[in-house]
Structures are given as C-alpha cells and as structure tokens.
Amino acid sequence: MRVGMEDLPLFDLTQVGHDIGFSVVVPGTPYTNVRYSGVVDEGRMQLSSLDEGRGVYTLQARRAEEGVLPAAGPAAVQPASLAAPPLSIPPVQARAPSPPSALPIIAPATANSAPPVKLPLPMLRDLSPNDLAPTPLMGWSSRQKLGSRTDDAAIRQAVEGLVESGLNLLGYVYVEIGDGWQGARDTQGVLHPNERFPDMKALGDYIHSHGLKYGLTAAAAPKSCNGMEGSYGHEGRDAQTFAEWGVDYVVYEWCGAEMLHPTEPEMRAVFQKMGEALRASGRDIVYGISQKGEFNVEQWAPRTGANLWRTGNELEENWASVSKAGFGENGKEYASGPGKWNDPGLLQVGNSGMSADTSRMQVNLWAVLSAPLMLGNDVRIMTRETVSLLNNREVIAVNQDKLGRQGKRIAQTADTQVWAKQLADGSVAVAFFNTSLRTTAVTVTWEQLGLSGAYLARDLWWRENLGIANDNYRVVLTGNTSMLLKFSKGP
C-alpha cells in the first residue's frame, strides 16, 4: 500500500467477498502495528482500526490507476474520534521493519494472483487405527460463539470458564480453537499465527496447565472460507508445527477444497494426506474431519486416519436443527465405535434458541448416540441452569461408556421416538422423546429392547430407581420433553 511516496507492506491480509482485513506496520521508534478491517468495493476501501488503547482510526484508500502513482502528501488516515491523536504516517526513507522474531513473510494472494494449483494426491490406502479417542470427545469449540475473530484472551477466558464451572472435572477437556488463528507463511513455508494469537505454544501450555487438551482447526484448501491460510500443500510442515505447539486435536475443514477436488476419491485422498502427516509428526493427535457429511463420509472416514467426522451441516440454535441432525444418525451406528465417532454437531445447551427441555432432549440424544459432547455455547458466561444440564454424571457415563456402541431407534410414531444403547455392564440406556406439543404416553417392549425377564428401571435425571419392570415399560411425557432411563438386570 502506498502512503505518500512510501510503500508500506501489508501483513495477514484476509478477504472474504467485499470484507477485507490487514495489518500495517508504521515506521518509527518503536514501530507501530495497526490492524484495519472494513470493506473494499470497486477499487475503494473504507476501513477502521481496532481500539487497542490508541483510539479508533479510519482509513480511506483507492486503487491506483495502472502506471499512475498517487501524489506525495499526508496519509489518508484520520482519527475516528478527537479523544485520540491522529496516527501520523509520514514519508520515510526506509521500508518498515519486519515483525520481530519472524522470518520474512510471503505476501498473501491478491485478486490478481494466479489460481491455486491442483497438487497430486497420495494413492488411497487404509490407515490403521491410532488408538486415540477410545470414548467420544468432550470439551468446547470456539467456532459457534466466537467465530473467526476470536483471540488469545478469549480462549484463555474459556479455559477459565470450564475450570470454574467444574465441567473440566467431568470430562469436558478439549478446547478447540476454530478457524481464525492463522496468519501467513514465512519463506520456509512455516505457518505463523496472526496478531491476535501472539504465541500458539504459550497458549497451548496455558491450556495444558489446567489439565485440558489443545485443539486447532485447519483448512484443507489453500484458503479457508474465512480467508485464512490453509494447509493444502503444506500438510507435513503444518502437522510438525502443530506437534511443536503441543496440539492434541486437529479439525480439518473441507470448505473451499471442493473447487480443486470435487470427487469422493479425491476428498478421501486429501484427508488421508493430513492423516498421514499427523501420524508422522511424532505426537499423538486426535484427528477430526469436517465436510458436512458428504459422500457418506462415515463409510470411509476411518480409513483416512480420522477419529471423528461431521455428519452434516453446522447446527443452529434451535431444536429443529438439533433434532434433524440427531435423529438423522439412525442407520449409521455400524460406523461408530471406540476411536471412530459420528459427530452430528455441537451441543446447543445454553444458547438462546434452546429451552431447558429441548437442551435436555439434545443431551439425552447425544448420550445414546455416543456423539462427541463438544459445547457450542459461550462457556465464559454460563448460568447455573446451563451447568446443571451439562454436569449429570450418570448421563455422561452413558455417552462415555467404554463399549462405545452408538444407539439406534427401536420405535417411532408420528410424535414419539424411542432409542436404545447397549452398555458395557449389560444394561441398556433407553431415551424416550415426545416431539409434539401435547402430553403423550410412550411404551417400549422387551422384544424391542432384546431383553427378557425382570429389569430395574432407573431415571438418570432424577437419579432414582423406579422399580422392577417385566415385558414393557410405559412413560408419559409432556410436550417437547424426553426421559433417559437405564434398565439393569433385576433379581
């Protein structure tokens, strides 16, 4: 970018549609790093800076006509408020210094750059199990509530939220940082974080110091759908970097890669390549893949080395979205088990579109599905009710049962469903759902459950035994509610 007669380099350039962001290093002693974000349209930009204790500044710029340079003069940078002095960018004789402790940065692609090159892929082969994730993952993901603009401080606050709520002691230990941490590559191809994440290893050390596990999202395309640097063509180098940072879990997102590799075999090969790279990194790293469940992903995902895979779109904060994803898992139970899990999406407990009843319905369904219990709420500001819906040890035990069986639907009417899951101790967890608005009775028979004889029924939410039953069991549910029972062999 030219200011007066001086060319100022841009760093961490990202662009999605008309939205653009970049950092400018302003010469001086010491130099100043300013992050701008805004819009670009028809060759003109309108941006503003973050308020980092210096006030907020606006920047207006236009694309120079070919062969014509702007006349020398003061920079078009103006303060947005008179409360802060203007940021001066005078003409200088030397280029702005590179960021400290960093190798030279490769300039990000621009609109005039050549399109990404389609790289050769490995021959398909089946990777053996990596013996990781023997039970479904539990933890929190930043992607739903914090999005791609999250930062180091917010992740640390989320760690504190998990610890202060006590959810970490119940198994919610994975902290997954979504797309948005990536910066640019240096001349050696090493991927560096952006200015919002100054030290990824230090952040990982902080997560580990609280007994939690460190997760990152990476992109399978040259650029993620948020415009961040992808791992395409750099899988081995990035896997090694993740290992050096102490990463325990990598989510590999497909968004954008379909432009280069539109077929199922190609998709599988791309995911296999990262699976191989993670295994060669020298660190045990749980591997998750996210591609909206395309091409019947559950049929081949384990062969790529994946431990879990998304089976559909991101969930919205309502029961309609949750129920479609969760009930849609029926028939996929053959693919799930220790070390390999179907993932229908994040828990929506604590989000505005979910009531206590529908939240409990999702927890019950995810428990019998052996689905990852990854939280999609803001764990920095949880209410007591939210925590109480997430800290039921008996319900968590159903989800984390070491047998690792995914439950299946055994009965259904227009308004009700019954799902059952075999447990390692020989008992059966049974979830009853009433999806109508009226009170409805739901009955399950021993024939449907594959049982015979007397069984003790226990309500896992009320935490009390309900007595001995033979042949069948009947519950009455009010509208849009559920019940989770455990049937154990009686006397």
Q: Report the alpha-carbon distance of residue 461 to residue 146 in Å, rounded.
A: 31
The verdict on 293 and 166 lying in the same domain is yes
DSSP 171-221: T--EEEE-TT-EEEEBTT--EEE-TT-S-HHHHHHHHHHTT-EEEEEEESS
Before 30, cis peptide (omega within 30)?
yes
pLDDT tens, 341-362?
999 999 999 999 999 999 999 9
Q: Is the pLDDT of residue 385 over 90?
A: yes
Name the domain boundary from 399, 416, 440.
Answer: 399
Report the mean per-residue pLDDT for the chain.
Answer: 86
pLDDT tens, 65-115?
544 434 433 333 333 333 333 333 333 333 333 333 334 444 444 444 567
Residue positions counted in the chain: 491
Q: Is the pLDDT of residue 321 over 60?
A: yes
Q: What percent of the chain has pLDDT over 70?
A: 78
Q: Which distant-in-sequence residues (6+ apart) come within 8 Å of 467 by Cβ?
A: 456, 457
The verdict on 232 and 331 lying in the same domain is yes
Name the domain boundary from 79, 104, 122.
Answer: 79
Query: Does residue 116 sit within a domain?
Result: no
CATH of residue 220: 3.20.20.70
Q: Report the alpha-carbon distance of residue 179 to residue 292 in Å, rounded.
A: 16
Q: Which pLDDT score, from 0 to 100, does residue 81 have? A: 36
Q: Which pLDDT score, from 0 to 100, does residue 45 have? A: 72
Query: pTM of the predicted model, to two decimals?
Result: 0.78
pLDDT tens, 107-133?
444 444 567 889 999 999 999 999 999
Host H or E run for residue 235: helix 235-245
The verdict on 183 and 249 lying in the same domain is yes
442 within 8 A of 474, measured Cβ to Cβ: yes
Q: Which pLDDT score, from 0 to 100, does residue 491 have? A: 77
The verdict on 358 and 332 lying in the same domain is yes
The verdict on 67 and 154 lying in the same domain is no
Q: Which pLDDT score, from 0 to 100, does residue 98 have? A: 35
Tell me which residue range forms the domain holding 421.
Answer: 408-489
Query: Does residue 117 sit within a domain?
Result: no
Q: Is the pLDDT of residue 390 over 70?
A: yes
Q: Which pLDDT score, from 0 to 100, does residue 346 have? A: 98
The verdict on 325 and 232 lying in the same domain is yes
Q: Which pLDDT score, from 0 to 100, does residue 334 have? A: 97
Sequence-ordered alpha helix ranges (H) in 299-445: 319-327, 356-369, 384-390, 393-399
pLDDT tens, 121-177?
999 999 999 999 999 999 999 999 999 989 999 999 999 999 999 999 999 999 999
